[in-house]
Amino acid sequence: MLVKLRLKSMHKKIIANSFFLLLDRGLRLVVSFAVGIWVARFYGPEQFGQLNYVLATASLFGSLSSLGFDDIVPRDMAALDHGDITRAEMQKTALLLRLLGGLLAFGLVLLLIYRESGITQIFWIALVLAPYLPIQATDIYEYRLRVEDQFSKIAFSRSFGSLAANTLKCLVIFLGLPIPFLAAAMTSEYAITASAFQFFIHSKAYIKGVFRLAYAKELIKRSWKIILAGIIIMCQARVEYFLVEKFLGWDSLGQYSAALKIFEIIDIVCITLVTVLMPQIAAKVSTDNIDKYRRITYLSGLGVYILLVPVMILLAIVFPYAYGVQYAPAASLVPWLFLRPFFGMINSIRGMFNILQGNYWYPAIASIVGLITSLIAGYTLIPIYGLFGAVATTLCGLFALTIGADFIFNRKNLFAFFTCYREFRYFANLYKSK
């Protein structure tokens, strides 16, 4: 009976937290999607492609900026199993480390863009956009709010930042300003959100933490493998952007970016699912029950994906009307990208359980498989089939990253995915016990 009550409590928390995060994500994505269409139409495929080229370049260093803390630190804050180190001390230590990582990532983005393009418009876009990397160090505050079940404050902070930034974007377009001003408006979202996080952290019974060198060393010791894996994963995830620009030019990159943008609405749901589940499962999972929780999570993810299929169909129908005739090539790509969120869901859930098991090497191994596959597919397919070759490159890379890599190196996880149907009874019993 006690176990059932605890399970009910856990699921109520998951549902409540998911509601706040999905409400926030939904509001932000709807507003950003609408404004993004205006941006794409106003600046045209070429400049839109340049903007997304900078975003893709910055994302290559996102793992270096985050230092792989996105799952490790929330897990530590939830479990509190590192001796006498408090959450406040974890927060201060991780914040300073992430700030250093963000500054290093910012410098590398500018260096890479300068090396490729010199002092051109792309460099100015990067100069005002890439500062979001060090600003994101304040995500540590979100980790603290997350493990303390303050999801409504997280939702408010991110929604407020998004609405303010999108207002600025609209003002930039209304005034007809050059695209670097738009990049500055995009960066403002992170600065406003960071300020809101800091306000909520300091408005409660705030205990000032201190930097703990021993914990910092232990964090880096665990996370450097995740950093390496993250860089390789982002190379694999973004390689087609660079190949499209290389073989097809800026206009085609703008078309390809527009098609992928609409799937951010779908991808974010999988990320939200993992964000909510991590603190709850971290406190309950053990070597005895991890396979069961893995199957339960995969079944939940599949259910969410199936529910989102009608949304993807609706987006595919709306896309050509929203973006206009200048993005007709992008509209033809959208139906072929329906499988992208499916592979993203598998990878997100697998990544969460890798962290819970301390298996930090595997993401790097899997992403190397995906990157090699993407490079081979990209160089083979994009010059011949154009943008459809880019879509095929994406799907081949994601298949290799998830199903292919697991078949070679991690069949236990693959088995859990293909046997998740066994947990239908778990959800049926949960429903009956209400």
**pLDDT recorded at residue 270:** 64
Count: domains in the chain: 1
- Residue of 371, 355, 367 lying closest to 282 (CA atoms): 355
> 161 with 148: CB under 8 angstroms?
no
- The dihedral built from the CA positions of residue 175, 178, 182 and 185, taken in this order, carries a sign that is negative
Name the residue range of residue 422's domain: 2-432
- Residue of 172, 184, 169, 179 lying closest to 127 (CA atoms): 184
Lowest mean pLDDT among 17-21, 96-100, 317-321: 17-21
- pTM of the model as a whole: 0.81
Q: Which helix (H) or strand (E) element contains residue 345?
A: helix 340-356
> 88 with 209: CB under 8 angstroms?
yes
Token pair belonging to 375:
């490079």
Whether the predicted pLDDT of 225 surpasses 80: no
Amino acid at 56: A
Whether the predicted pLDDT of 224 surpasses 80: yes
| Percent of the chain residues topping a pLDDT of 70 | 86
**pLDDT recorded at residue 25:** 67
**pLDDT recorded at residue 429:** 64
**pLDDT recorded at residue 173:** 95
**pLDDT recorded at residue 3:** 46
Whether the predicted pLDDT of 62 surpasses 70: yes
- The single residue listed with the structure tokens 């500055």 is 184
| Higher-confidence position of 22 and 91 | 91
**pLDDT recorded at residue 296:** 83
Amino acid at 299: L
| Residues 6 or more apart in contact with residue 268 via CB below 8 angstroms | 25, 29
Separation CA 334–CA 179 (nearest Å):
26
- The dihedral built from the CA positions of residue 381, 382, 383 and 386, taken in this order, carries a sign that is positive
Token pair belonging to 339:
């499988």
For 251-292, write each residue's pLDDT tens digit. 999 999 999 887 877 777 666 666 565 555 655 666 777 888
Whether the predicted pLDDT of 146 surpasses 60: yes
Whether the predicted pLDDT of 202 surpasses 80: no
Q: What is the distance of C-alpha 89 from the center of its chain?
A: 26
What DSSP line would sit under 213-263, residue for residue? HHHHHHHHHHHHHHHHHHHHHHHHHHHHHHHHHHHH-HHHHHHHHHHHHTT
Token pair belonging to 373:
């596959």
Whether the predicted pLDDT of 16 surpasses 70: no
> 55 with 127: CB under 8 angstroms?
no
> 288 with 246: CB under 8 angstroms?
no
Phi, psi of 146 (to 5 degrees): -65, -50
CA R_g for the chain: 21
| Higher-confidence position of 31 and 16 | 31
User: Which stretch, 4-8, 125-129, 263-267, has highest mean pLDDT?
Assistant: 125-129
For 373-399, write each residue's pLDDT tens digit. 999 999 999 999 999 999 999 999 999
Token pair belonging to 138:
């304040």
**pLDDT recorded at residue 206:** 59
Lowest mean pLDDT among 43-52, 83-92, 307-316, 412-421: 83-92
Query: If you average pLDDT over residues 165-169, what whole number do you get?
Result: 94
| Higher-confidence position of 346 and 19 | 346
Query: If you average pLDDT over residues 345-374, what whole number do you get?
Result: 84
Separation CA 160–CA 110 (nearest Å):
29
User: 169-172 long-range CB contacts below 8 Å, 24 or more apart?
Assistant: 169/35, 169/39, 170/35, 170/38
| Higher-confidence position of 108 and 25 | 108
**pLDDT recorded at residue 5:** 45
- Residue of 96, 7, 45, 433 lying closest to 245 (CA atoms): 45
Lowest mean pLDDT among 15-29, 55-69, 346-360: 15-29
> 380 with 392: CB under 8 angstroms?
no
**pLDDT recorded at residue 352:** 78
**pLDDT recorded at residue 142:** 85
Amino acid at 45: P
